[in-house]
Amino acid sequence: MIPYGRHSIDADDIAAVVDVLQGDRLTDGPAVARFEAALGAVTGAPHVVACASGTAALHLAVLGLGLGPGDAVVVPSLTFVATANAATYVGATVRFADVDPDTGLMTPETLEQALARPGPGRPRAVFPVHLNGQVCDMAGLTAVAERHGLSVVEDACHALGGAAVLDGASVPVGAATASAAVCFSFHPVKTVAMGEGGAVTTRDGALADRLRRLRTHGISRDPGVFQEHALAFGADGAPTPWYYEMAEPGFNYRASDLHCALGASQLTKLETFLARRRSLAATLGQALAPLAPHVRPIPRGPTDADGWHLFVVLIDFEGLGRSRADVMAALAAAGIGTQVHYIPVHRQPYYRARDPDLHLPGAEAYYARCLSLPLFPAMADGDVDRVAAALREALQ
């Protein structure tokens, strides 16, 4: 079976994890700092906070911005549920934005439409999602956000290695030059795998400090912020070595040294991974060209500034007289794994109950046609021909 996505683990990745296992610290050790420094070098962000998952990263960002009841957060409906849930966790209202029907990306126009639509809560933040690895129009989105006084948090869980165009320059995703924070996932199907893991990048040092506290139960061991001086300091004025304080509740969202050692090793191969994904995507696109117009890859930007997490095609199932379920079953029988990314979140029962009449035609048109085909660095060139041939057969 060729899965739709798979991690690529080499001997050096295994050696990095074994080195931690043979060391003194399995968590809260030096591998975490090394991973954060490596991700900072890749993204250009001055502050990186590693955490347990992409979902934890999104939740930490919401907490760090102080969002809560009475606030509204704009989220595109075409995303994984975690983007919306992060706002829900803190009692904020999710306001769903529509997306471009061919790319699945939120646009400045659909953001404006979401903000103009009546709803509970005062809009305070927007979470653009770089779906499939393709980067949103950050210049346009931030211009809208600034007009409405919104904080911007990028959900870049698909987009490590991609780049945005800002003021005519290519800026790495994660640099956080157009946002308060950027959230990443290092799940095994992502370009860089940690097993489970995530990170938040930011240019705001105070926000980074708060995120570090929040990922560890809200606890700080910094004497400079201690409030209970009688407990914190001895008679000589020196801080007592065991002391810590919790100024606000946090979570156990730490990433272990095991995960971070693997992540740091994987980051050294990021450009190699991306180059292979781009090559495979170009070859697969050519192999599928004879199936047009009924099958076409989602349109991509004119440059290589794409994280290439997923290879998604838009299929006219209705015009072909085939159901998506039947096509996926036929592909599975041929040894080809596929997936659907994603069911529009506004159609999920929890959110549908809160806005039963919401209709987002772009998201629903994208969802009706999308199918994720295999794309990962370990694919052989022959696998591309096998995928294309199996899809042709499944659609006949």
Is residue 108 within 8 A of residue 96, CB to CB? The reply is: no
Identify the residue with better confidence: 314 or 304. 314
**Residue range 96-149, pLDDT digits in tens:** 999 999 999 999 999 999 999 999 999 999 999 999 999 999 999 999 999 999
The predicted model scores a pTM of 0.97
The encoded tokens of residue 322 equal 């085939």
So which residues are the catalytic ones? 190
Same domain, 60 and 186: yes
Do residue 252 and residue 326 come from a single domain?
Answer: no
- Confirm whether 4 is domain-assigned: no
The per-residue pLDDT for range 318-374, each reduced to its tens digit, is 999 999 999 999 999 999 999 999 999 999 999 999 999 999 999 999 999 999 999
Residue 200 lies in a domain: yes
| pLDDT on residue 46 | 98
Number of domains in the chain: 2
Structure tokens given for 363: 């998201």
Q: Which domain holds residue 298?
A: 270-395
Do 343 and 231 lie in a common domain? no
For 31-57, write each residue's pLDDT tens digit. Answer: 999 999 999 999 999 999 999 999 999
Mean pLDDT of the chain: 97
DSSP string, 5-67: ------HHHHHHHHHHHTSS-SSSSHHHHHHHHHHHHHH--SEEEEES-HHHHHHHHHHHTT-
Same domain for 279 and 260, yes or no, is: no
Task: Select from 222, 250, 267 the last residue of a domain.
Answer: 267
pLDDT at 301 over 90: no
